[in-house]
Structure 1
């Protein structure tokens, strides 16, 4: 796979991860207001976006495991960074939302 193709895959990871991050932050804002239906809807949207980014990562890992030479560049590394930070944010948002729920 060429470097430019991997760069496009990296951009996809950034887009899906960024979308997930936005949904998680908005879900926390809704939780703070006590809007639990909207919070749950946003958390589901975030989960779907994060799964798309994670699927891309898994496909790349499988290709590399099959000895395909992947010419990694900074954009793909940036996509991986976005994915990992969004995965961490997911855990934090779930924890914080639970705190808001326990307050009621």
Structure 2
């Protein structure tokens, strides 16, 4: 796999993870204003985006496991992995924030 191909794949991971993180942040904002229906919809969209990023990332891991050394760890790929981790953490925290806002507004 060429460096260009790896960096293109990394950009896909970054884009999907970024969307997931944005949806999570919107869910928190929705919950803060009491719009729990939108918050839940945004959490679902976040899940879908993060899942896409995760699938791409997992495909790279599987390729590396099958053929060690075929995936070069570029800075772009490292950056993409960081984005994915951050998006997953943000999603988990967003779900908790939505739950807390629901309890507070009861």
Name the TM-score class by shorter chain: over 0.9
Please show how residues 46-65 of structure 1 align to structure 2 within 5 Å.
Answer: 46-65=46-65
Structure 1: 5+ residue stretches without partners: none
Deviation string 1:50-69 (CA, Å, 9 cap, x unpaired) is: 00000011100100110151
Q: Does 1:77 align with 2:82?
A: no
Q: Matched residue pairs, number?
A: 104
Equivalent in the alignment of 2:89: 88
Structure 2: 5+ residue stretches without partners: none
The CA RMSD over aligned residues, in Å, is 0.9
For 2:72 and 2:29, locate their aligned partners in 1 and report how far apart those are by CA, in whole Å: 40
Q: Does 1:35 align with 2:35?
A: yes
Structure 1 runs (4+) greater than 2 angstroms displaced: none
Q: TM-score, normalised by structure 2?
A: 0.94
For 2:93 and 2:15, locate their aligned partners in 1 and report how far apart those are by CA, in whole Å: 20
Q: TM-score, normalised by structure 1?
A: 0.96
